[in-house]
Structure 1
Amino acid sequence: MRCDYSVLIVGAAVLMVPESEDLTTYDDMVNTVLYAQLAANKKTELEPGVSWYDTYIKVLDGIWMWRGKAREDLNLPSESVESAVQWAAAAMSKVGADEGHVTAEVLSKIVNESDINPATNLLRSHMQKVSEKQSIEVPAPAMDVRLLVIVAPTPTSFSSVCIELKTHQLLSSNPLAHLYWGEDVQGIISRRYVRANLSETVYAPVRAQIALKVKDRIETNVATLTLHDDACSTTQPEEIRS
């Protein structure tokens, strides 16, 4: 497998872009995706019953023009053990074969990374936010887990999958290598995916405003995930184990 994609962690999102692209050309995508996540985080903190994903999409609505939306809910049998990589790759394959292939390969590389990486630590902290009370509570309460996977072939287009679930487990240090046991997952596993193109007409008047709003949040919420050559693997997502 060729290691020809660059990876940015943007909050709870794994953003994959062609390695040949200058990452700075993706500033609009990074800024809007981060801005929408921060807005959704704040909204759900103030109103716990509000849908995080619906808030996130509403913020992006208009700036990004949706070419398609879909949702699929999964039930994980109590005896099953699966990974977010499996769910993301399978969902992205329904968006497009190329997107599914890229997702499976790049996420598998991240799973195969053995070194402790600040970027994966950042991703973990956004995928599962654990309060001090939750960390010591016995038995462990069901905690939200959220992962966005974005394949962006150009700076103005992307395909995205959002996975949401509740689990009693704390995520592994490498959150993408974590295996979910059915008996520890509460309720359904939600997979929602979209394809989008940037609307320059809508975004141009607010570009500077959004960039200013996230300027001081970039350093602590965005990181480049450097993958090593030996992390390349042809492992298929359903074969991944920790």
Structure 2
Amino acid sequence: MSKECSVFVNGAAIVLVSTGYGGAKEKDLMNSILFAQLVANKRVIKNSATNWSTEYLGVLGDFWVRNFKVRHDISLEKNQLAAPVEWAAMAMANSDEGEVRALAESLEWIARLPCSSPELNMLRSKAQPASVGDEMLDPASLKAVRLLVILAQNPPSMTCLCLEFKTRKALEGNPWTQHFRAEDVDGPVSARYFRATLSETLYELYRNAIALKVRDRLSDNVVSLAKAVDISTVLAHGELDHE
């Protein structure tokens, strides 16, 4: 399994796409990931009781066939100080799936990303979207945070981890390495990961409609984060090949 990937920000997700994925396949991947996030966002705005992760997975499930799905609810201990990258590693620690282990390795690479960049600014704004009405009433109101990391491989498949939690703290720097105390987080941290394969037959029914829906949203949601990099080399030497 190749560890050489191109890396993108796609909404609240960091997406690592393995070399050889292909232009048309990559377009389908990126469009479907963004579309699922946009639909989940819209449904949560309409009904605050709606679970974002459930909606996101439900939309993807229309054309990405899941091979497995795992959920962990992580309760933070009093006085504990930890970052999302640590919660994610904890959630996947006992998996014996090769793709999940590769996804866990990518978290170490993500943790090395610089704290200040236009790409991470975009990521933070999508991972913790502003609720203008709530902020006007109470600047310290609880805000949902959703962070995703996705490893896409060829033939078209993805392994995805989604973290979701609520906090009064604003995201700063690299949100994957920002530390939170137990008292900063309301309730448990929800961690879900799954592996899915794209059904060409099912996606053919949606491809044009999804492309049209996301067409005007790509520029403010999707950006290249790094050129093709060898994840194993980055882990060893801490290198990042920016564009």
Q: TM-score, normalised by structure 1?
A: 0.84
Identity among equivalent positions (%) equals 37
Whole-angstrom distance in 2 between the partners of 1:110 and 1:135: 30
* DSSP 3-state at the match of 1:213: helix
Q: Who is 1:221 aligned against? A: 221
* Contiguous gaps of at least 5 residues in structure 2: 238-243
Structure 1 stretches of at least 4 aligned residues deviating more than 6 Å after TM superposition: 136-139
- Count the aligned residue pairs: 233
Query: Which residue of the partner structure matches residue 202 of structure 1?
Result: 202
Match of 1:232 among 226, 231, 234: 234
Please report how far the alpha carbon of residue 50 of structure 1 lies from its aligned counterpart in structure 2 after TM superposition. Answer: 0.9
Say if 1:89 and 1:101, in contact at 8 Å, map to a contact too: no
Residues 122 and 139 (structure 1 numbering): CA distance in 2 closer, same or farther, change over 3 Å?
closer
Read off the aligned partner of 1:66 and give its amino acid letter: R
Structure 2: how far apart are the matches of 1:215 and 1:182? 40
- Secondary structure at the residue paired with 1:217? coil
Shift of 1:77: 0.9
Q: What does 1:132-147 align with in structure 2 at a 5 Å threshold? A: 132=132, 140-147=140-147
The one-letter amino acid of 1:190's match is S
Note if contact 2:115-2:174 (Cα within 8 Å) is conserved in structure 1.
no
Note the alpha carbon deviations across 1:156-198, whole angstroms, 9 max, x for none. Answer: 2111111111112111122122112112111011111111111
TM-score, structure 2 normalization: 0.84
Kindly indicate which of the two structures has a greater share of residues assigned to helix. Answer: 1
1:59 and 2:59 matched: yes
- Mapped to 2, the partners of 1:127 and 1:197 lie a distance apart of 25
| Distance verdict in 2 for CA 1:173–1:39, change over 3 Å | same
Residue aligning to 2:121: 121
Cα shift readout 1:136-166 (whole Å, capped 9, x = no counterpart)? 7767222111111111122521111111111
CA distance in 2: counterparts of 1:211 and 1:176, whole angstroms? 29
Task: Specify the alignment match of 2:77 in structure 1.
Answer: 77
Q: Aligned to 2:205, what secondary structure does the other structure show?
A: helix
Unaligned runs of 5+ in 1: 236-242
